[in-house]
Structure 1
Amino acid sequence: MSEQQPEYVWAHPEEKPKRGRTWLIVGLAIAAVVIAALVFWLFLRPGAPLADATPTASASASPSTSGTPSASASATPSDEPPAEPSAEPEPSMTPVDTAPPVADPSVKQFRGQVEGWLDDALTGLSIVEASSGQDAVAVVDNLQDDAQRLAEVAAPSSIASDWQDGLRTYSERLISLRAAAAKGSSVSVDTSRTAVKTLRQLVGL
């Protein structure tokens, strides 16, 4: 008769409560809540510092963008050449417009310039001789104006000296003639006529 073998029974030990896993889950939950609160505080709540960062950046970008046209606008006038007073030529460097020397006219050319006034001189003296008083004075005044015009015309160098002397004599005769006519005295135009004829001879009339 064999001995009865002992019967082995596997007894599972009682499971211990998994406290470590529970604390891990609780810690993760707390960390998630903290992270969510932090995100809300930083980004979502009104007046959050990071929530205003984006508009601030965009606002700051706007002035920089608007600053570009101002920079280009300020650059545009700089492209134009500045009007510097130094760019103007100095008075000492400014060329002086000098009239070219007047060519010495020929006697023929000079005669064509003065012939009309010399003709009027003889005609005027004849009128003065036939007039008296203020009528004679008015004619003498016209003859003096013509004598001034004759003096303003450049005479050829070949007759310039004689022309100036003859013209001076004629002007003096007219002064005496006018004084006599203004007094109402009888006038003589002979000396004035002789002075005109001298001038006419100088120019070949």
Structure 2
Amino acid sequence: MSDEQQPRAEWIFPEPKQSNKGRIWLIVGLSVLALAIVGALLFFFLPRDGEVSPTPSPTATKTPTPTPTFTPTPTPTAIPTADPTTAPEPTPPPVPDPDIATFAAQVQPRLDDASTGLSIAAGSSGQDAAQVIETLQQDAGHLSDAAAPSSISSAWYEAVGQYSARLGELRGAFEGGGDTQSAMGAATAALQELRTLVGV
């Protein structure tokens, strides 16, 4: 056997297998893209909180139609509500009639101040005396507001009116520089009548 006919040893290498990693990544990428598109569609077309979905709009147009049928019903019910207005209003309890001793204790401080004020005015002149008389006129207003007992009420309010008038004349005499002696005597007599009525 010659050397040329001897078989030669040859190395046979298996062909490398193709990798599927590229296909897998392609499928995963397409799946993620599809999910993103579906999510975007749901985000834009599904109603969110606080938004009115388009479906209730027909119901909103239907709801005003029954309301006119119910509006006449409250008007008859409003008629009975006028009944409480005819109920009699509660009358306040009558003010108790004070006795003369209680009333005298109430007005005596102002009467004493009036006696003192007239004495001060008699020793003064001009605007100084007029200011004292003005204070006495304010006190006379409080005496007129006091609730006198029914037994002396008419005489009391008439005497207070006379006293206030005499004070006005006396003040005018001091401010105008006229005869203050007679006006002082008249005011003092009117004050004494008030004191006699209550016994102070």
TM range (shorter): 0.5 to 0.7
Cα deviation code 1:140-173 (max 9, x no counterpart): 1111111111001111011112212211221111
Larger radius of gyration: 1
Distance 1:88 1:111, change over 3 A: farther
The match for 1:165 is 158
1:149 corresponds to 2:142:
yes
Q: TM-score, with normalisation over the residues of structure 1?
A: 0.55
Contact 1:117 1:146 in 2 (8 A): yes
Distance 1:147 1:90, change over 3 A: farther
Counterparts of residues 43-122 of structure 1 (less than 5 Å):
92-93=85-86, 96-122=89-115
The match for 1:191 is 186
Sequence identity, in percent?
43
Query: How far apart are the structure 2 equivalents of 1:184 and 1:91?
Result: 65
Q: State the 1:89 CA deviation.
A: 6.4
Query: How far apart are the structure 2 equivalents of 1:97 and 1:117?
Result: 36
The match for 2:34 is none
Query: How far apart are the structure 1 equivalents of 2:84 and 2:146?
Result: 33
In structure 2, the gaps of 5 or more residues are: 1-54, 60-76
Query: How far apart are the structure 1 equivalents of 2:159 and 2:105?
Result: 18
Amino acid at match of 1:142: T
Q: Secondary structure at the match of 2:150?
A: coil
Q: TM-score, with normalisation over the residues of structure 2?
A: 0.56
Amino acid at match of 1:157: S
Amino acid at match of 1:195: A
Query: How far apart are the structure 2 equivalents of 1:186 and 1:91?
Result: 65
1:132 corresponds to 2:122:
no
Q: Secondary structure at the match of 1:109?
A: helix
Query: How far apart are the structure 2 equivalents of 1:184 and 1:102?
Result: 46
Query: How far apart are the structure 2 equivalents of 1:112 and 1:125?
Result: 21
Q: State the 1:101 CA deviation.
A: 1.4
Query: How far apart are the structure 2 equivalents of 1:181 and 1:85?
Result: 68
Contact 1:114 1:150 in 2 (8 A): yes
Query: How far apart are the structure 2 equivalents of 1:177 and 1:161?
Result: 25
Distance 1:90 1:177, change over 3 A: farther
1:200 corresponds to 2:195:
yes
Query: How far apart are the structure 2 equivalents of 1:123 and 1:85?
Result: 66
Cα-Cα RMSD: 3.7
| Number of equivalences | 141
Contact 1:134 1:182 in 2 (8 A): yes
Contact 1:128 1:140 in 2 (8 A): yes
Cα deviation code 1:49-95 (max 9, x no counterpart): xxxxxxxxxxxxxx79xx9xxxxxxxxxxxxxxxx977976672466
Distance 1:91 1:170, change over 3 A: farther
Query: How far apart are the structure 2 equivalents of 1:104 and 1:187?
Result: 39
